[in-house]
Amino acid sequence: MILNLILSIVVGGMLGHAIDAGYDGRLAQYITGPDSYAINLFSPEKIAQGKGGWQGEHAGKWLYAASKAYERTGDPALLGKLTSVADYLISRQEKDGYLGCYREDKRYYHRPGPDAMKVDWDTWIMAYLIKGFTETTVATGDPKYADCALRIVEFLHWTVFEQGIKIAQTGQHSGMAGCGILDPLCDLYALRPEPKVREMIERCIFELDDTPCLQLITLAGKGYDVALIGNGKIYEMLRCLTGMAKAYQLYADGALPGGKASSEPLLAACTNAWESICKWHLTTLGGPWGGINFCWELFNRPAEWAPYECTETCSVMQWLNFNWELLRISGDGKFASEIEKTAYNALMAARAEDGLRWEYYVRTNGELTPRGDWACCWSSGMVALEDLPCYVYDVRRDGLYVNVISEGVFEGEVRGKNVRVEQVSDYARTGVAEFTVIPSEAKESSEAKESSEAKESSEAKESFLLAIHLPEWAPSFEASVNGKSVKASVKNGYIRIKRSWKAGDRLTLKFPYEIRTLEKAWEYRNAGKKEYNFSNWYNGFTRHYVTFSAGPLVFACDHADSFEKQDPLVLSRDEIANARLDAAGISAAGSSAAASTAVMAPTPQLLAGPLALTPIALLPPFGDGPQWRTTWFQIQ
């Protein structure tokens, strides 16, 4: 069980650098107040002009990300912007509770045809507003923002239960865009368990299975591949699955009535869908991808692969969040492995160094081409960065768990003691994770005195478990405390060390930082439509490809190879076997966490034949760096 005992988390290193850049970039510059265009879309003038549309989602995403950022930083200037934007949006809520940017005659509650899914994004926008206002309440402590979210839910409830509107018919992609509102409904219910919110949650779950063209819970529960459920739309399906995982926790905790009968089908569907995605639908960077069969944004058919993998950044954000919810439920380190891989690679590969711009599509082989700042992915990347600190650590009943190894600082309560843990080593570039543990005096609150932990022996009080996620890429590890080798057990994907920690104790984990290769075969299929369908019939030959990794990072080089204009780099088996790391640029471990947040250390180059490869995470996606990325290399 994960407990809410965290006081502060600072993420440093490569991930922290990205978070800081995003804070100063997209978060600070895209929306600065009610006059910003993304917020002005909700004004009477813009609505009357029909300027609104799916772009209204940016408002809710920004509210959520800004709230998370304020919780993390306590920046009073950000709080001022956050409350001014939120207050303006509240002022735009209509008397019946509707809050959106669609003209009245375009709104979702004008009943759609009985067999058609509406093509607007009205409920999608309101879903993100609910999510944003819920987190704004958490950040500010002001209940008026949750009140606004509840009024939106009451309006939705009225249209569904009294007007007969089906939620699935208010959104695209086999109803998943409409039913994706389940995710923020669960967030709001955890904060404000009102009956109408509960009824909307139950209705969403019902329609996810009752909609004939979807049946997500039943089909995923039976083990159907995700590409064969609904229309296979990645982002929307992941959002529904994330909502299902949150609903499972509400049932399991007794917050929702129904018990095992209601909760177990949800968990089975989520688990099977996760297995399907991991087996067939992840790029080497850890992003869920599409593009071979129909569309860049739809899951491919199982077992089909091409080196020109394409992942929507929105899907990267939602995949991270889905794994976090499954980790919270199970405590299984396999979900932490996916978070780490995706964060260090697919997410870092999508961002520009300025923190403002994002890739719409993250390609393993292809041109780095930004879309306009209205792209949904620019705000999704911002959200993913602000969510990252929440994934790094969690406190459980038996101790502190490190889910993502990254330089930084944790402060919180572990088994009745306030504990500070600092990680200062450059894990991503050296394979070394070094933690300094600084326990403080035990708390003397009345609650602590009455707890079961307070009744334990004084020796037991002084000890606690420090569990560090064992990366899936590491075949072994060495553990030492203060330079002396120690035995550590491995359970459920975590390296576990329990001891009486003294102030200044330093735990060092060394993982083998070696070159790893992954090979795949492309059964070449001729292009159909130029952009969206690059395989519709078998063309009769197979090409073999390889990719390189070291530590948590996947490596690539700047070379113009894309499906539209193929120019693969070809390596011989000897060149692959003799590839080596040039470690001259690796910085020594031991710099402060604060410094590692601001300054990114040099990274070792991987040399294979005549090619010099650089980790994807350090390639600026566009603008002031390489314009191409080649991750998969053809084998001669």
Which residues are paired to 419 by β-bridges? Answer: 412, 439
Nearest Cα neighbor of 435 from 510, 384, 365, 369 is 510
In a domain, 7, yes or no: no
Residue 552's pLDDT is: 93
Contacts of 46 (CB under 8 A, 6+ apart): 40, 52, 101
Angle, helix 76-91 to helix 57-73, in steps of 10 degrees:
150
Whether residue 322 contacts residue 241, with contact meaning beta carbons closer than 8 Å, is answered with: yes
In a domain, 392, yes or no: no
pLDDT in tens, 239-289: 999 999 999 999 999 999 998 899 999 999 999 999 999 999 999 999 999
Whether residue 58 contacts residue 379, with contact meaning beta carbons closer than 8 Å, is answered with: yes
In a domain, 10, yes or no: no
Which residues are paired to 409 by β-bridges? Answer: 10, 422
> Are residues 339 and 215 part of one domain?
yes
User: Considering 510, 544, 572, which residue would you say is the last residue of a domain?
Assistant: 510
For 259, left (φ over 0), alpha (ψ -120 to 50), or beta?
left
Q: Which residues in the chain show pLDDT less than 50?
A: 1, 442-460, 527-537, 585-601, 616-624
Residue 523's pLDDT is: 81
> Are residues 404 and 366 part of one domain?
no
User: Considering 476, 510, 544, which residue would you say is the last residue of a domain?
Assistant: 510
CATH number at residue 333: 1.50.10.10
In a domain, 394, yes or no: no
> Are residues 417 and 345 part of one domain?
no
For residue 170, give the DSSP letter.
Answer: G
Whether residue 402 contacts residue 471, with contact meaning beta carbons closer than 8 Å, is answered with: no
Residue 54's pLDDT is: 87
Q: How far apart are CA 8 and CA 71, in angstroms?
A: 9
Percent of the chain at pLDDT above 90? 68
Q: How far apart are CA 129 and CA 60, in angstroms?
A: 4
> Are residues 320 and 406 part of one domain?
no
> Are residues 412 and 369 part of one domain?
no
For residue 299, give the DSSP letter.
Answer: B
Q: Where are the alpha helices (H) located in 356-462, listed in sequence order?
A: 376-392, 427-430, 446-450, 458-462
Residue 586's pLDDT is: 44
User: Considering 455, 478, 510, which residue would you say is the last residue of a domain?
Assistant: 510
> Are residues 312 and 163 part of one domain?
yes
> Are residues 365 and 265 part of one domain?
yes
Residue 558's pLDDT is: 84
Contacts of 394 (CB under 8 A, 6+ apart): 2, 3, 6, 327, 328, 400, 401, 403
Residue 255's pLDDT is: 94
> Are residues 530 and 497 part of one domain?
no
For residue 300, give the DSSP letter.
Answer: P
pLDDT in tens, 462-486: 689 999 999 999 999 999 999 999 9
> Are residues 620 and 477 part of one domain?
no
Q: How many structural domains is the chain composed of?
A: 3
Q: How far is CA 348 from the centre of its chain?
A: 12
> Are residues 502 and 519 part of one domain?
no
In a domain, 60, yes or no: yes
In a domain, 390, yes or no: no
> Are residues 310 and 295 part of one domain?
yes
In a domain, 265, yes or no: yes
Domain encompassing residue 259: 15-375
In a domain, 149, yes or no: yes
CATH number at residue 494: 2.60.40
Residue 579's pLDDT is: 85
Residue 480's pLDDT is: 97
Residue 120's pLDDT is: 81
> Are residues 489 and 624 part of one domain?
no
DSSP string for residues in 506-517: EEEEE----EEE
Q: Which amino acid is at 232?
A: G
